[in-house]
């Protein structure tokens, strides 16, 4: 779950991180009213989208009066913002964040993240900000410092002071920066986040460290521990997501529509990606990405098949299942049978079944009267389904 800037800042401020005063608004009138209430000399009006590079793309504008704030908000709201990170379609701006402009003596970069490659939490810091158009440049220059974090009694422990002294300006209190780094590490642990990034972190003339921008990503699998954040995700997704993908998510299915003609049903994200690669390698065109989660029931799986069968572009279905302890092959086959019976649409089916109850699943397919071709491996099954589609087209 990607968290909008205004919410990320609120979550950090509750935990002791200094932020500039600001308010979120969903209309130009609300933005102007917020600016009048704050009564500052300079304001930043920021489009709230799940993407960086906003300043260079017109998603951050500066204003010297409440009227200018309202005008800037009117130009952003209800329109897509296109940045290097959104793709050509952009992302619709539903809210703006009106914030006091903070004057910085120095801008730093700090972040806490889960490094999936090595399976540990790390703190990252630099004496300069990270240019989002060239994210690797600062690391290539050797300016990005890295500190592993260990967890004891739900608290992060590491050499925060040593890192703070490496990146703090000469006139800054390194101990104060060390406290901030530890706050961020503990916030990551408490919120079940995978990333908290402040870029830039301003060091001001009065010796304070203030978060000017904040990015935060929460682990979706931990949202059951944070019902307040889960509710925000539902509201946000309802506005910005494809409604089909949102309904699939509620059914324990990760689904993304593609532009091909081979429907794909797979359990496991890694296996799904390998399946798409195998199809493309032999000239196939997947019609969707699908990952059936281990928590999906047979009725959830039936809904997933409904999505595939409802796509008129689909000419054949590739079922690739590796049964595990929580998701057996026959559970998925039963869901597929339910979907086929109620849709009435019969499509060529190529399957690859392995793992828990694979043999029983084959018997269930025959019992249901479903014709299928079986592949000996993922590559073999991919080749077979592409051949089937080629015959269908011919």
User: Rg of the chain's alpha carbons, rounded to an integer?
Assistant: 25
Instruction: Please name the helix (run of DSSP H) or strand (run of DSSP E) that holds residue 116, with its range, or none.
Output: none
Q: Report d(CA 43, CA 58) in Å as an integer.
A: 15
Q: What is the 3-state secondary structure (H, E, C) of 45-66?
A: EEECCCCCCCHHHCCEEEECCH
- Residue 234 is among the residues annotated as catalytic for this protein: no
> CB pairs under 8 A, 24+ apart, for 378-381?
378/274, 378/275, 378/278, 378/320, 378/352, 379/278, 379/281, 379/282, 380/352, 381/278, 381/318, 381/320, 381/350, 381/351, 381/352
**Encoded tokens for 143:** 């300016």
Catalytic, out of 30, 91, 197, 334: 197
Tell me whether the omega of the peptide bond preceding residue 200 falls within 30 degrees of 0, making it cis.
yes
CA distance 167 to 155: 23
Do 288 and 311 meet the contact criterion of CB atoms below 8 Å apart?
yes
Q: What are residue 221's DSSP bridge partners?
A: none
Check: CB of residue 318 under 8 Å from CB of residue 350. yes
CA distance 43 to 46: 10
Q: How far apart are CA 297 and CA 186, in angstroms?
A: 36
Q: How far is Cα 289 from Cα 274, in angstroms, rounded to an integer? A: 11
292 close to 332: Cβ distance less than 8 angstroms:
yes
Catalytic position from the list 43, 109, 255, 334: 109
- Rounded CA separation 282/383 (Å): 6
Question: Hey, how many other C-beta atoms are within 10 angstroms of the C-beta on 380?
Answer: 15
Give the containing element (helix H, strand E) for 348: none
Q: Could you confirm whether 171 is annotated as catalytic? A: no
Q: Give the catalytic positions in this structure.
A: 109, 197
């Amino acid at each position: 779950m990607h968290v909008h800037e205004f919410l990320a800042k609120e979550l950090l401020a509750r935990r002791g991180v200094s932020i500039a005063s600001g308010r979120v608004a969903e209309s130009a009138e609300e933005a102007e009213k917020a600016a009048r209430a704050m009564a500052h000399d300079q304001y930043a009006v920021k489009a709230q989208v799940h993407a960086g590079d906003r300043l260079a793309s017109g998603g951050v504008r500066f204003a010297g009066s409440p009227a200018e704030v309202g005008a800037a908000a009117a130009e952003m709201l209800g329109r897509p913002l296109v940045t290097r990170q959104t793709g050509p379609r952009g992302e619709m701006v539903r809210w703006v964040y009106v914030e006091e402009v903070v004057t910085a003596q120095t801008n730093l970069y700090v972040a806490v993240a889960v490094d999936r490659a090595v399976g540990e939490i790390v703190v990252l810091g630099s004496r300069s900000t990270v240019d989002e158009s060239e994210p690797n440049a600062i690391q290539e220059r050797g300016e990005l410092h890295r500190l592993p974090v260990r967890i004891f009694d739900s608290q992060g422990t590491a050499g925060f002071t040593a890192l703070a002294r490496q990146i703090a300006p000469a006139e800054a209190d390194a101990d104060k920066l060390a406290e901030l780094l530890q706050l961020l590490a503990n916030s990551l642990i408490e919120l079940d986040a995978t990333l908290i990034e402040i870029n830039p972190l301003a060091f001001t003339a009065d010796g304070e460290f203030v978060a000017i921008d904040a990015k935060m990503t929460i682990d979706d699998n931990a949202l059951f521990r944070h019902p307040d954040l889960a509710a925000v995700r539902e509201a946000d997704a309802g506005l910005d997501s494809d409604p089909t993908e949102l309904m699939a998510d509620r059914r324990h299915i990760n689904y993304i529509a593609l532009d091909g003609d081979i429907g794909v049903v797979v359990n496991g994200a890694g296996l799904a990606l390998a399946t798409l690669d195998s199809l493309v390698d032999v000239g196939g065109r997947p019609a969707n990405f699908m990952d059936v989660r281990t928590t999906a029931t047979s009725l959830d799986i039936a809904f997933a098949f409904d999505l595939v069968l409802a796509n008129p572009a689909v000419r054949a279905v590739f079922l690739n299942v590796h049964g595990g302890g929580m998701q057996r092959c026959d559970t998925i086959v039963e869901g597929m049978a339910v979907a086929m019976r109620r849709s009435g649409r019969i499509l060529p089916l190529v399957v690859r079944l392995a793992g828990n109850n694979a043999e029983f699943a084959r018997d269930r397919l025959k019992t249901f009267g479903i014709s299928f071709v079986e592949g000996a491996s993922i590559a073999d099954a991919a080749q077979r389904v592409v051949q089937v589609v080629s015959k269908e087209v011919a």
